[in-house]
């Protein structure tokens, strides 16, 4: 995503801070089939098993664990970073995302990444529906269009989310 490289250092710092303080990091990773129906709406991206599907190295922490994009049993004990594969812009449509959130029993969730007005907004909406306290890190998100990103942040706040900068979260 154009401009996403700007937030990589901030995302990496937040992830490392969380891992160092025993806070699990839940990341998502698109895992599309070569002919995925999402490509009718969005450009071809993140095909499962390709280099383009990998998380940026700067965002990874020790002991990451991948939860596949299919129903099944898995364990997250001991993982500092849980990477949930998905095929939709809405992480809550993945078969395991809500289960991971529930297993962690977190009351507060800090959300950041790309794209503010798409995946980030869907995550915020779903977490708020689950009754979670949500904070969006404004200097660790990137938009496709600034106007749409601003509107997404307004919607998040209207729904009960808070906004913060990375320095307020991770010092």
CA distance 163 to 156: 9
**What is the reported pLDDT for 44?**
85
Mean predicted lDDT score pLDDT of the chain: 94
Q: What is the CATH number of the domain that holds 55?
A: 3.40.50.850
The label of the residue with tokens 């869907």 reads: 122
Helices (H) and strands (E) in the chain, counts: 5, 6
Edge-to-edge strand order for the sheet containing 81-86? Answer: 25-30, 81-86, 64-67
Tens digits of residue pLDDT in 61-118: 988 999 999 999 999 998 999 999 999 999 999 999 999 999 999 999 999 999 999 9
Q: pTM of the entire structure?
A: 0.93
Name the domain count of the chain.
Answer: 1
Three-state SS at 149: helix
- 98 and 125 Cβ atoms separated by less than 8 Å: no
Contacts of 105 (CB under 8 A, 6+ apart): none
Whole domain around residue 44: which residue ranges? 4-170
């Amino acid at each position: 995503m154009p401009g996403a490289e700007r937030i990589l250092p901030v995302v990496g710092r937040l992830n490392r801070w969380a891992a160092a303080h025993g806070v699990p990091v839940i990341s998502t990773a698109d895992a599309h089939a070569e002919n995925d129906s999402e490509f009718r709406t969005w450009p071809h991206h993140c095909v499962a098993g390709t280099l383009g599907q990998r998380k940026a190295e700067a965002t990874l922490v020790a002991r990451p664990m991948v939860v596949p994009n299919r129903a099944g049993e898995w364990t997250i004990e001991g993982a500092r970073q849980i990477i949930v594969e998905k095929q939709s812009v809405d992480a809550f449509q993945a078969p395991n995302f809500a289960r991971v959130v529930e297993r962690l029993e977190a009351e507060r969730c800090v959300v950041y990444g790309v794209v503010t007005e798409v995946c980030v907004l869907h995550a915020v909406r779903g977490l708020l529906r689950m009754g979670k306290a949500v904070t969006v890190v404004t200097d660790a998100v990137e938009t496709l269009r600034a106007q749409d990103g601003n509107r997404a942040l307004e919607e998040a706040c209207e729904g009960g989310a808070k906004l913060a900068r990375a320095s307020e979260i991770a010092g």
